[in-house]
Structure 1
Amino acid sequence: MILACIGLGANLGQPDVQLQSAFDALDALAHTRLKSRSRLWRTPAWGPQPQPDYCNAAACVETALTPRAILVALLGIERAHGRVRGSERYAPRTLDLDLLLYGDAWIDEADLQVPHPRLAERAFVLLPLAEIVPQLPVPGTGASVGELLARVDTSACQPWPGQV
């Protein structure tokens, strides 16, 4: 079994409900068990167009699936939650699932990069991930998740309403 870390985000519909459902879907994947999950965070949206804030979280699963099989499963979960992938980057979405880390693997393929290529610069990814695996080394950075978090500005991130 390999520890894989997944970033979750949504800003359309009921984002918190979408993320709760996505946690359940991750736990239901074959040969996979949800090991830990962060609380939900409200974070500002990225991108040029005005759009609602995001609800973000992180999850770690223990899995026997390959990175490619996890990617296919994540895309399927997104589709089941109404996600339609288009060519526009940073567009609003019902659910976004990103494979952030897969053990100590370094993968650089056209449609699969692990660690996620912008992991080290994004507070909305690092903040929830550091809640569950702060000491986890991030391949290629020479730093742990917690150390990377200390390097980014988290001032715009807040717990999702109703969470402490």
Structure 2
Amino acid sequence: MELGLEEQVFARILTFGKALGSQGACIAGPQVLREYLLNFSRPFIYTTALPPLAIATLAAAYQMLPNMQQERQRLFALSDLLKTTLNAVPGLHVPEESHIIHPVFFPDHAGPAHVKAVAQAAQAQGFDVRAILPPTVPAGTERLRLIVHSYNTEAEIEGLAAVLGRIN
């Protein structure tokens, strides 16, 4: 939309997980793409339609999305707070360009064992922190993966930073 190229896009893949709280995905495009996929896409031919509950969830989500400005603002503020707070913890680095889903790197410690131990220790303190390890990411780029939600609190973010600071 920003560049005004919408009409030049042949196909769009829309996913229904995470933000929409459902499952599945779809491909949106012109009739020729639809006909091609219906007739020649083996994975599509052998899949089943989304269950009615998933369709109802998507319909409700799409009705709610235009009216969630306040929730978005809160989410973005919490996301910024998480970056600022974790970047103040010695030995942690969250890239400034990360947004909502944050990788947390350990520049002073190398290796998957350390990242895995930090994740497990944070989990033991009640935080849903995931270690992302090779082969998912290249060796030497191990990290934690944190996702901010609009229902998180400032206290939870500060508590997570304290835990990560202690166990790092």
Normalised to the residue count of structure 1, the TM-score between the two structures is 0.29
Richer in helix (by share): 2
User: Relative contact order: is structure 1 or structure 2 higher (C-alpha 8 Å, sep ≥ 6)?
Assistant: 1
Higher strand proportion, which one?
Answer: 1
Larger Rg: 2
